[in-house]
Structure 1
Amino acid sequence: MRKMGKALLAAGMVVAFSSLAVPNASAYERCSTGRYCIYSGFNGSGSICQVIPEHHDVTAQCLWTGTNNAKSVKNMTTSQVYFYGGTNFTQFRGSTASGGQGNLQGSYKIRSVGL
């Protein structure tokens, strides 16, 4: 019985260590092809809002964007996407190249996105 317990403990440690060695999928991978994704957390974490560019009021689709600052973005479209702090493409904040992703300052909201 004692040998069996040690064997189980050793097997459990191998499983534990091997699961630590396997990296988690990137949080950014939640963004679907053809979408521009806005995240409430850094590094693609937190709540996600997936929009099709040329969206004049992101808050209408994702309520959290009206109260929480955007912390990171990912562009899964084939075009450069421009993002704005106001609805109807006002208050330009920046842009993301096709396939680009990254953290923002985290000090503003994204209310519209355009091409």
Structure 2
Amino acid sequence: MLGKTEEEARAELAAQGLDGAALEALLPNKVFPGSRPTNTLLFDRLDPHTLGMLVALYEHKVFVQGAVLGINSFDQWGVELGKQLAGKLLPELQGDRPASSHDASTNGLINHFLATTGRIEC
């Protein structure tokens, strides 16, 4: 996944009509590095058992990482970042054309998903 530089975040906030102190206050929460390590879980079918395992896995992962790293695991800015990133990916997961506008890892995962499951219907 590609990151967002301070300049890109500043331009995005300015385009939303923010400036001055409000922009500067939000800016650090909008900058993030790219090419971070990720874990990807692929499964053939989503059923109640698989969903329960995924929820338990991620709840535990988030709690333990926060405790080990001494960070607030339930930081609202992190949630907002996830929503923003997901919003960019969802149209491609709903489409039928191969992804090519992201980094190689993200394109590969989207294309694997489209090849094996079709697309998301929302």
Indicate the TM-score class for this superposition, using the shorter chain for normalisation.
under 0.3
Normalised by the length of structure 1, the TM-score is 0.24
Q: Which structure has the larger Rg?
A: 1
Instruction: Considering fraction of residues, name the structure with more strand.
Output: 1
Normalised by the length of structure 2, the TM-score is 0.23
Instruction: Considering fraction of residues, name the structure with more helix.
Output: 2
